[in-house]
Structure 1
Amino acid sequence: MNLKRYGRPAVIAIAAAIVLSSCASNEAGSTATDDAAASTLSGTINAAGASSQGSAQEAWISAFQTANPDVTINYDPSGSGAGRETFIAGGTDFAGSDSYLNDEELAGTFAACAPDSTAVDLPVYISPIAVIFNVEGVTDLNLDADTLAKIFTGAITTWNDPAIVALNADADLPATAITAVHRSDDSGTTKNFADYLFQAAPDVWTEKPADPFPYQTGEGAQGTSGVVDAVTNGTGTIGYADASRAGDLGVAKIQVGDEFVEYTAEAAAAVVDGSPLVEGRADNDLAIKLDRLTTDASHYPLVLVSYALVCTEYADAEQGALVKEYVSYMASEDGQVEAAASAGAAPLSTDLQAKVAAVLETIK
């Protein structure tokens, strides 16, 4: 990976109920049981954010709580934007986010962090974004960036539009109206989807990437599950979602160079490994500037990196130590294997795992 650098007040009650995942699974195996006998960790961690991390968080929480039975971890998959807001306000101990903290957020204060400290972005989850569709009689679909952008901006409105037909000569495309489903909540998945189209189809997608979906078109749905449900239960629907949630829906191939590429964890990881860090940030901040314009067909550029947003120093040192242990597990080899098995995630490279671990060692 082209990485050139690395480096509470009492928790406010969250108005929306946090999803409680405190029941330890017996499926973590004998090693977890052995670890549990030796564990001295105790306490409760509250976190919220990216719904893309939902399946991975369920698996991480189960394994960690099995190994550490006196620890309770609650993760609310409320969306990246909501997760960042709650973390900034001090309502959670860390946040999951598919978009890294922006300059304005970093310039502010974080209520859970010690005075004169800040937060950093640590990659913990890599996943392709799948373009999911539900069109009667269509099982395979090729889309280039321009055509995909025109569908979601409302410039293309039927499935037999000449632009789609030209990319799918062997498909029997109906005259069905297109319903393009986007996230209605502030979403890092939306920001990554928009970033891909902003870079790869700039003449069509002219709005700068942001967590809110920028166009008054299509149909909005809350969270990843809302988008998947809307596409599944609709007619002539298309949407975007973390690939782990695509299920039995059709998934489009996107054009990379001269080929149409389907997503794989390996192809997503390849893009991340070839991308640099965002410039102008602290040495211990591992926000990644993804290369969306690759023409290498072994890469899948419609990918998201989801981060754990943590304090560099916590106002409550004991709480900070507990968060440090859990996030360290998430980013470890064992944690990444767990996420790959449970959510189809692309594991962090060994190099990136080491850099995340090095930053976590400095967390207080």
Structure 2
Amino acid sequence: MLQRKNRLRALSLGAVAVSGALALTACGSDDTGKTNNSGSSASPASSSAVKCDNAKGQLQASGSSAQKNAIDAWVKQYMQACHDVQINYNPTGSGAGVTAFLGGQTAFAGSDSALKPDQVAQSSKVCTGGGKAIDLPMVGGPIAVGFNVPGVDSLTLDPSTIAKIFNGKINMWNDAAIKKLNPSAKLPALKIQAFHRSDESGTTDNFTKYLIATAKSDWPYSGGKAWQAKGGQSAQGSAGLAQQVKQTSGAISYFELSYAADGIKTADLKTGASTPAKATVENATKAIASAKVAGTGKDLALKLNYQPTEDGAYPLTLVTYEIVCDKGNKADTLPAVKSFLNYIASEDGQNQLADAKYAPIPAEINSKVRETISSLS
């Protein structure tokens, strides 16, 4: 009888933990998996990959909104196994996420841009014992150029035209430059409504890096997380931009592909290949595979290639990092941080990304990520 009561109590506590965590992350799930003595779920999706390793407590994290859908999918699986951990990821944007982490408010941050040298220097305040903040690439994917043009289902754009649209130099959808790229499309005499991020964003940083690399003469800005061009309209987060495109006739914007849902159409991008590249996970993976590790030591910041030559490679991509201390992490959250990061970097965790319209990190780079996670202290 006592054994039965203990089992019921454990199940009840597990249900409470799952409910609390999923309320925090706005990610619904049905916890039907059973647990074994190690605390790993017996469900096929996570039993071989989630290792709780005595992790417990709450993890506060924030940052990139581009990776939120991936985080939600990962948390759903992780929480089915590790009932003693609650994860609260707030998609405040990359800039705000890094600021919160450097202020000691979160256990890790999500950012679509690697840390700058001054930010690494600041991290000594939160990473004790001589530690510093490092970048762990965890999520890849295409930045889609979503559009809402009545009567137009397919659209091809090149870097110069995109730069001129978002710099206010092309204002109508039937502009000659757009017509030249889309000779068979029935482009209306409709004003272009270009939307950009109102918050500091790694997606903006990567979007403008692409324009700087491919259309510098039409994009005379230095780039960064904050939007620099004049004019246009703004919205908060990737979800906010996608919503504006969905509801505004003539709208165009940029956001991670997972936000291009509910009928939002995305433009194909003209490259050096014979045919324009479509915004797909597979095509983004082709481009990300040519990225190089630019970080030193345990830092695994990547240098992306915005001008890939492979046929079909989609050039407008981003990689989202999880930012943690290499050493000097808080003792009460370190086990949970390592447990969760180990799972999302695992083969099972990375395999979940395609279903959520993200691209897994190339295996050669991901093996280094796993080695680094195991050495966190």
Shared fold per TM-score greater than 0.5: yes
Please tell me the residue identity of whatever aligns with 2:312: S
Equivalent residue of 2:218, what SS? coil
- Bigger drift between 25-34 and 287-296 goes to 25-34
Equivalent residue of 1:241, what SS? strand
8 Å Cα contact 2:52/2:339 also seen in 1? no
Give CA-to-partner distance per residue, 1:64-111, whole Å, 9 cap, x none.
111110111110011111100000100000000011101111122354
Equivalent residue of 1:173, what SS? coil
8 Å Cα contact 1:89/1:110 also seen in 2? no
**Fraction of identical pairs, as percent:** 39
8 Å Cα contact 2:290/2:308 also seen in 1? no
Map of 1:33 onto structure 2: 41
Equivalent residue of 2:315, what SS? coil
From 126, 147, 161, the equivalent of 2:175 is 161
From 248, 255, 278, the equivalent of 1:262 is 278
Higher alpha-carbon Rg: 2
- Bigger drift between 217-226 and 33-42 goes to 33-42
Map of 2:16 onto structure 1: none
1:115 deviates by: 3.3
Distance in 2, Cα, partners of 1:19 & 1:196: 36
- Bigger drift between 183-192 and 267-276 goes to 267-276
Note closer, same or farther for the CA distance 1:161–1:316 as it changes in structure 2 (3 Å cut).
same
From 254, 265, 274, the equivalent of 1:250 is 265
From 351, 356, 359, the equivalent of 1:346 is 359
Pairing 1:21–2:25 present: yes
Map of 2:192 onto structure 1: 178
Note closer, same or farther for the CA distance 1:29–1:63 as it changes in structure 2 (3 Å cut).
same
Counterparts in 2 of 1:269-308, with a 5 A limit? 269-278=285-294, 281-308=295-322
Aligned residues: 344
Map of 1:194 onto structure 2: 208
Equivalent residue of 1:286, what SS? coil
Please tell me the residue identity of whatever aligns with 1:184: S
1:305 deviates by: 0.2
Pairing 1:65–2:65 present: no
Distance in 2, Cα, partners of 1:68 & 1:54: 20
Pairing 1:100–2:108 present: no
Give CA-to-partner distance per residue, 1:103-141, whole Å, 9 cap, x none.
111122354321321011001100100000001111110
Please tell me the residue identity of whatever aligns with 1:249: I
Map of 1:239 onto structure 2: 253
Counterparts in 2 of 1:201-240, with a 5 A limit? 201-240=215-254
Equivalent residue of 2:352, what SS? helix
1:313 deviates by: 1.2
Give CA-to-partner distance per residue, 1:240-296, whole Å, 9 cap, x none.
010011011111000111421111112111212112122xx4221111111111232
Pairing 1:360–2:373 present: yes
Distance in 1, Cα, partners of 2:52 & 2:292: 40
Distance in 2, Cα, partners of 1:22 & 1:246: 19
Distance in 1, Cα, partners of 2:321 & 2:231: 29
1:28 deviates by: 7.2
8 Å Cα contact 1:28/1:62 also seen in 2? no
Please tell me the residue identity of whatever aligns with 2:315: P
Distance in 2, Cα, partners of 1:23 & 1:306: 20
8 Å Cα contact 1:196/1:292 also seen in 2? yes
Map of 1:311 onto structure 2: 325
8 Å Cα contact 2:338/2:376 also seen in 1? yes
8 Å Cα contact 1:190/1:213 also seen in 2? yes
Over the residues paired in the alignment, what is the CA RMSD in angstroms?
A: 2.0
Pairing 1:91–2:105 present: yes
Please tell me the residue identity of whatever aligns with 1:349: P
- Bigger drift between 57-66 and 122-131 goes to 57-66
1:39 deviates by: 6.0
Name stretches of at least 5 consecutive residues in structure 2 with no aligned partner.
1-21
Give CA-to-partner distance per residue, 1:183-204, whole Å, 9 cap, x none.
1100000000000000000111
Please tell me the residue identity of whatever aligns with 2:368: K
Distance in 2, Cα, partners of 1:88 & 1:59: 26
Map of 1:5 onto structure 2: none
Distance in 2, Cα, partners of 1:294 & 1:267: 11
8 Å Cα contact 1:47/1:76 also seen in 2? yes
Equivalent residue of 1:149, what SS? helix
Equivalent residue of 1:58, what SS? helix
TM-score normalised over the length of structure 2: 0.87
Give CA-to-partner distance per residue, 1:316-340, whole Å, 9 cap, x none.
2242222111111111111112232
1:298 deviates by: 2.5
Distance in 2, Cα, partners of 1:302 & 1:102: 21
Pairing 1:42–2:47 present: no
Distance in 1, Cα, partners of 2:136 & 2:51: 30
Note closer, same or farther for the CA distance 1:175–1:24 as it changes in structure 2 (3 Å cut).
closer
Distance in 2, Cα, partners of 1:205 & 1:147: 10
